[in-house]
Amino acid sequence: MSNPLLPLFGRALAAGGAAGLATGLFSLLLAEPLMDRAIVLEEARSAKEEAAEHAHGAASAATQGHEELFSRSAQHFGLVVTAVVAGLALGALFAVAYALVHRRGGLLVRAWPRALAFCAAAFVAVALLPGLRYPAAPPGVGDSSTVAHRQGLWVAAVVIGILGMVLAWQVYVRLAGRADPVRHGAVFLTGAATLAVLFLLPGNPDEVPVPATLLWDFRVLSLGSQLLLWVVFAAVFGGLGLRAAARLNSPARPQDLAAAGASAAPVR
């Protein structure tokens, strides 16, 4: 008997690859122009600070020889490739979590609604809630000495978001005998409480010296890319699950039975 987890991993990897490709192209076409503008502004700001600190010109002489290791074209290509690889890794993690949650009810039972619900919860846990507490900032923004601190805050926010969604799922399961408005309201309150806990974390220690319009556009596109990631993931994963369930439940066709009988007939 074949392992039922292998098809699950296959569907999750296919969904992750497709979602990563869609997100990479989205970022390349829409977010990269904003990142280019942010990089130009950051370079101009850095040049002004260095000129102010080293008025004698030593710093300017040291920075004239600085060159990027990779061209912007290579970086753009790497962005798409990295997005696909990240999507595949996300698919593997998703398959493990999905199997743990639905191990008792069957991996192909209600494949479409479960895929939508699971991906929606994942988006809220790892993107929406942490993003509301620590909105995305353009590249080059922030003090290099606080990178580890900011990364730690973001990881903590993601962990709290995941725990909050797990708690919301448990609340929904425990209230199985109640009316849907009660269950949905309890889930909403759990999510709101999780967001409140997130705001107990320290704020971003660095300023974001970027024009408000550019910053707003960048943050909207960053959140939009995450939304696109999970929408594509849910559509592909759920669609492949429906296809697998239909194949599993469909009766064998007469021509298939005839072909199977012919292949099993002894050779005379």
pLDDT for 213 equals 83
For 194, counting Cβ atoms within 10 Å of its Cβ (0-12 exposed, 13-18 middle, 19+ buried), the class is buried
d(CA 252, CA 30): 48
Q: What's the sign of the alpha-carbon dihedral 97, 121, 127, 20? A: positive
Whether the predicted pLDDT of 34 surpasses 80: no
pLDDT for 207 equals 79
Whether the predicted pLDDT of 67 surpasses 60: no
- Both structure tokens of 123: 């988006």
136 pLDDT tier (thresholds 50, 70, 90): confident
d(CA 18, CA 238): 13
d(CA 234, CA 215): 29
Q: What's the sign of the alpha-carbon dihedral 23, 28, 32, 33? A: negative
pLDDT for 18 equals 97
pLDDT for 263 equals 38
10-14, 52-56, 105-109, 192-196: range with lowest mean pLDDT: 52-56
Q: Mean pLDDT over residues 245-258, rounded?
A: 65
17 DSSP 8-state letter: H
Whether the predicted pLDDT of 58 surpasses 70: no
82-96, 138-152, 153-167: range with lowest mean pLDDT: 138-152
SS3 content of the chain, % helix, strand, coil (to 5): 75, 0, 25
Crossing angle for the helix pair 32-53 and 212-249, to the nearest 10 degrees: 140
Q: What's the sign of the alpha-carbon dihedral 254, 260, 261, 263? A: positive
Q: Mean pLDDT over residues 132-150, rounded?
A: 80
DSSP H helix total and E strand total for the chain: 10, 0
Q: Mean pLDDT over residues 142-160, rounded?
A: 88
CB 241 within 8 A of CB 233: no
pLDDT for 5 equals 84
Q: What's the sign of the alpha-carbon dihedral 89, 95, 98, 103? A: negative
Q: Mean pLDDT over residues 172-197, rounded?
A: 93
**Selected residue with higher pLDDT from 146 and 59:** 146
pTM of the full predicted structure?
A: 0.79
252 pLDDT tier (thresholds 50, 70, 90): low
Mean residue pLDDT across the chain = 82
pLDDT for 183 equals 93
